[in-house]
Chains A and B, each alone.
Chain A
Amino acid sequence: MKTQKSTVLAILTGLIFLVLLCMPRSSALAAEPYKIGCIFSVTGPASFLGDPEKKSAIMLADQINKKGGINGHPIELVIYDTEGDPTKAVLNINKLIFHDKVLAVIGPSRTPTTLAVIPIAQRAQIPLISCAAGIKITQPVKKWIFKTAQTDALAVAKIYSYIKEQNIKKIAIITVANAFGESGKEQLIKQAPKFGIEVVAQESFGPKDTDMTPQLTKIRATPAQAVVCWGTNPGPAVVAKNMKQLDMKIPLFQSHGVASPKFIELAGDAANGIILPTGKILVAKDIPDSDPQKSVLLKYIKDYESRYKTNVSGFGGYAYDGLNLLAIALEKAGADKAKIRDELEKIKGYKGVSGVFNFSPSEHNGLTMDAFVLVKIVNGKWQIIK
């Protein structure tokens, strides 16, 4: 009796499994799905990047699939979490390439994780679209590597072109002592002569420092006509507060690293008058209608906020653009990695969330400094000035 029962059970479960296995297969048999791998830092210290990236990618894939996919092929995302750790990123990309056999990879979210997976993607000859900002990812150009996030170099150029217009010749820089600040410092010093600007003081601060008055006092004693601060919260807010405290009247420029409402909250009144570059998403409603990105931005914000019931962040767009670019390439190339890469490189004038992309064999980021707008904080609100 007992054995009979279990045999029946086993057969039943087997049947259920068979049905479950067959169901999606039979409906997808018409066209094999395009498998795309995603590696984002969904959890861990950089979750503020990876989480909106993951959400944006899933949202876009659903939208594409609802419209019937790409040439009839639905998109299938395989998403792994790096936790912001380069070692995990390497494990993830190997899994994507050799186990999941994806056609292309979007991510990772951070510069260190991206730099770790580049050699693997190059060796496996698979197109990779990184969501990280570091300039080293696409300079020098690597055959299989693209990226969608704006680089520091563009932000520096944006600030410097404005400083030059204001006829400011001497500036002081104060940067945070971590990878973001160091990279910014490098660009600030490298690009200064090109704009006829002299850096008369270089100061730095620790990521957790709470008092920058000594550094600013030193800057006050120099002939600097403006201060450029490069860091992520909370340091730059302290710099802003300390400058008010020291009664320094020269203009303060900040990096895109603090382009979030959080900065205004932290710096309070001291935030007023600060000028900084930001991606257009922060001020999407205020950019002129003639801006090519306006409709893309508004659609993305509306879709994201209605689906996830949370405010859009400036970072999910990197993955959104990445998947959109990939969809364009897939449409022309089909399931062939080398052809996808070639088509990616040919994309011109694609209007994305982070800017207008123009790829070429010598340019795999494809953005110019027009991807940024300069905003001034007036009464705790962003105001576009350029």
Chain B
Amino acid sequence: MDLAAQTLQFLFSGITNGAIYGLIALGFTIIYNATEVINFAQGELVMLGGMIMIALSKGTNLPLPAGFVISVSIVSIVGASFERFTIRPLKNPTQIGIIIITIGVSILLKGVAMFIWGKETLSSRPFSHSPPIHVGSATLDPQSLWILGITFGILLLLQLFYQKTITGKAMRACAFNKRAAGLVGIPTQKMILLSFVLSAAMGAAAGVAITPITMCSYDMGTILGLKGFCAVVLGGLGSTIGSVVGGFILGIVESLGAGLISSSLRDAIAFVLLLGMLFVRPQGIFGIKEVKKI
């Protein structure tokens, strides 16, 4: 097989992974857009989504859409209680304080998942039982198309939500200046709660979609969260399109690097890319340079 055909295969693999990272990155973006903090438990929400889906489909003949809805709803409730019981009671919510809380919650969720489902890796069935799709001499897993579809679907819905609806606009105002948003009558606490619910739901959707490919273990959230965070920084914090684009760039660079340079450098390539971006363009590709009036 020649290099061109190989590269096509690397691209396919990169696009699949990129869509996964992008989907996780979107979850980060939603909470960031309402609170200006990074939710480090995002990866764990993804893991929970996948785990609940596997638990539901095990032994029962639950149809896929039903499992999807139940799993997303349960994780949304987890997201709501996350905000209600750990973030809201804070007296003086500082950014760093909230970030540390999210790290705490991520450890808690990981521990609970280990307790319930054990330390073993679990696998789930793909959405559709069709053979791999051949494009030239490269092949594509049908599950990748599902992931791509879900990523773009969510991206589209989010864009509409932020640009066209009052609630979406109010949410963004909240992040921009919480106090001013409150003064013009936006219920800021509700907005923050909503952002956690939305982001948890998105994480769960990502988890359900990716586990047929990645499989699921209690500690998968950490590395997924890191990669998603990487994608967010690459694309620009707060930009929905940016996080998806960042995800794709990360996925493709990783896969090309692993294929053409060395597979042992795979993770290193991703994080070198992240560091490089932080040095050269800290606001990310789609980010707007922060201007502060004094």
Give the B-binding residues of A (Cβ under 8 A): 45, 177, 203-206, 208-211, 213-215, 217-218, 220-221, 233-234, 237-238, 244-247, 262, 265-266, 268
**Chain B residues whose C-beta falls within 8 Å of the C-beta of A265 in the assembled complex:** 123
Docked-complex contact B132 and A208, CB < 8 angstroms: no
Docked-complex contact A245 and B123, CB < 8 angstroms: no
With A213-B13, A247-B139 already in contact, 16 other A-B pairs whose C-beta atoms are closer than 8 Å: A204-B264, A205-B263, A209-B266, A210-B214, A211-B16, A211-B17, A211-B255, A214-B9, A214-B13, A214-B255, A214-B266, A217-B1, A234-B123, A234-B217, A246-B139, A265-B123
Which of B123, B125, B220, B255 gathers the greatest number of chain A CB atoms within 10 Å? B123
**Total chain B interface residues with beta-carbon distance under 8 A:** 33
Q: With A217-B6, A220-B1 as given contacts, are A234 and B121 in contact (CB-CB < 8 Å)?
A: yes
**Chain A residues whose C-beta falls within 8 Å of the C-beta of B134 in the assembled complex:** 247
Q: With A246-B139, A262-B120 as given contacts, are A215 and B263 in contact (CB-CB < 8 Å)?
A: yes
Docked-complex contact B258 and A215, CB < 8 angstroms: yes
**Chain A residues whose C-beta falls within 8 Å of the C-beta of B120 in the assembled complex:** 233, 262
Docked-complex contact B6 and A245, CB < 8 angstroms: no
Docked-complex contact B259 and A211, CB < 8 angstroms: no
B82-107 interface bits toward A, Cβ cutoff 8 Å, 1 = contact, 0 = none: 00000000000000000000000000
Docked-complex contact A214 and B1, CB < 8 angstroms: no
Nearest A residue to B259 by beta-carbon distance? A214
**Chain B residues whose C-beta falls within 8 Å of the C-beta of A245 in the assembled complex:** 132, 139, 141
Docked-complex contact A177 and B6, CB < 8 angstroms: no
Residue from B9, B122, B266 in contact with A217 in the complex, judged by beta carbons closer than 8 Å: B9
**In the assembled complex, how far is the CB of residue B94 from the closest CB belonging to chain A, in whole angstroms?**
33
- Give Cα A238–Cα B143 distance, bound, in whole angstroms: 14
**Chain A residues whose C-beta falls within 8 Å of the C-beta of B263 in the assembled complex:** 203-205, 214-215, 218
Nearest A residue to B261 by beta-carbon distance? A214
**Chain A residues whose C-beta falls within 8 Å of the C-beta of B220 in the assembled complex:** 208
**Chain B residues whose C-beta falls within 8 Å of the C-beta of A204 in the assembled complex:** 263-264
Closest A-B pairs by Cβ, 10 of them: A214-B259, A210-B214, A234-B121, A213-B13, A214-B258, A217-B9, A215-B263, A221-B1, A266-B123, A204-B264
B256-288 interface bits toward A, Cβ cutoff 8 Å, 1 = contact, 0 = none: 101100011011000000000000000000000
**Chain A residues whose C-beta falls within 8 Å of the C-beta of B122 in the assembled complex:** 266
Q: With A217-B9, A234-B217 as given contacts, are A177 and B123 in contact (CB-CB < 8 Å)?
A: no
**In the assembled complex, how far is the CB of residue B224 from the closest CB belonging to chain A, in whole angstroms?**
9
Is B186 an interface residue, CB under 8 A from the partner? Answer: no
- Give Cα A211–Cα B18 distance, bound, in whole angstroms: 12
Docked-complex contact B1 and A211, CB < 8 angstroms: no
- Give Cα A206–Cα B264 distance, bound, in whole angstroms: 7
Nearest A residue to B20 by beta-carbon distance? A210
**Chain A residues whose C-beta falls within 8 Å of the C-beta of B158 in the assembled complex:** none
Nearest A residue to B220 by beta-carbon distance? A208
**In the assembled complex, how far is the CB of residue A128 from the closest CB belonging to chain B, in whole angstroms?**
29
- Give Cα A130–Cα B263 distance, bound, in whole angstroms: 34
Query: How many residue pairs bridge A and B at CB < 8 Å?
Result: 81
Is B78 an interface residue, CB under 8 A from the partner? Answer: no
Docked-complex contact A217 and B121, CB < 8 angstroms: no
Docked-complex contact B132 and A218, CB < 8 angstroms: no
Docked-complex contact B215 and A218, CB < 8 angstroms: no
**Chain A residues whose C-beta falls within 8 Å of the C-beta of B156 in the assembled complex:** none
Nearest B residue to A247 by beta-carbon distance? B139
Docked-complex contact A208 and B258, CB < 8 angstroms: no
Q: Tell me the B187-225 residues at the A interface (CB within 8 Å).
A: 213-215, 217, 219-220, 223
**Chain B residues whose C-beta falls within 8 Å of the C-beta of A218 in the assembled complex:** 6, 259, 263
Q: Tell me the B134-157 residues at the A interface (CB within 8 Å).
A: 134, 139, 141
A-B pairs with beta carbons under 8 Å apart, 7 shown: A206-B266, A211-B17, A217-B1, A220-B6, A221-B1, A245-B141, A266-B123
- Give Cα A221–Cα B121 distance, bound, in whole angstroms: 31
**Chain B residues whose C-beta falls within 8 Å of the C-beta of A244 in the assembled complex:** 132
Docked-complex contact B215 and A234, CB < 8 angstroms: yes
**Chain B residues whose C-beta falls within 8 Å of the C-beta of A213 in the assembled complex:** 9-10, 12-13, 255
Nearest B residue to A204 by beta-carbon distance? B264
**Chain A residues whose C-beta falls within 8 Å of the C-beta of B9 in the assembled complex:** 213-214, 217, 246
Residue from B139, B215, B255 in contact with A237 in the complex, judged by beta carbons closer than 8 Å: B215
**Chain A residues whose C-beta falls within 8 Å of the C-beta of B264 in the assembled complex:** 177, 204
- Give Cα A266–Cα B123 distance, bound, in whole angstroms: 5
**In the assembled complex, how far is the CB of residue A259 from the closest CB belonging to chain B, in whole angstroms?**
15
- Give Cα A116–Cα B283 distance, bound, in whole angstroms: 48
Which of B10, B223, B263, B264 gathers the greatest number of chain A CB atoms within 10 Å? B263
**Chain A residues whose C-beta falls within 8 Å of the C-beta of B259 in the assembled complex:** 214-215, 217-218
- Give Cα A237–Cα B214 distance, bound, in whole angstroms: 10
Docked-complex contact B223 and A266, CB < 8 angstroms: no
**Chain A residues whose C-beta falls within 8 Å of the C-beta of B214 in the assembled complex:** 210-211
Nearest B residue to A267 by beta-carbon distance? B123
Nearest B residue to A265 by beta-carbon distance? B123
- Give Cα A243–Cα B120 distance, bound, in whole angstroms: 23
- Give Cα A211–Cα B266 distance, bound, in whole angstroms: 11
**In the assembled complex, how far is the CB of residue A16 from the closest CB belonging to chain B, in whole angstroms?**
40
**Chain A residues whose C-beta falls within 8 Å of the C-beta of B258 in the assembled complex:** 214-215
- Give Cα A215–Cα B258 distance, bound, in whole angstroms: 7
Docked-complex contact A211 and B213, CB < 8 angstroms: yes
**In the assembled complex, how far is the CB of residue A222 from the closest CB belonging to chain B, in whole angstroms?**
9
**Chain B residues whose C-beta falls within 8 Å of the C-beta of A233 in the assembled complex:** 120-121
- Give Cα A26–Cα B136 distance, bound, in whole angstroms: 83
- Give Cα A233–Cα B121 distance, bound, in whole angstroms: 8
Docked-complex contact B132 and A247, CB < 8 angstroms: yes
Q: With A215-B259, A247-B132, A266-B121 as given contacts, are A238 and B215 in contact (CB-CB < 8 Å)?
A: yes
Which of A203, A206, A211, A221 gathers the greatest number of chain B CB atoms within 10 Å? A211
**In the assembled complex, how far is the CB of residue B119 from the closest CB belonging to chain A, in whole angstroms?**
8
Q: Tell me the B225-268 residues at the A interface (CB within 8 Å).
A: 255-256, 258-259, 263-264, 266-267
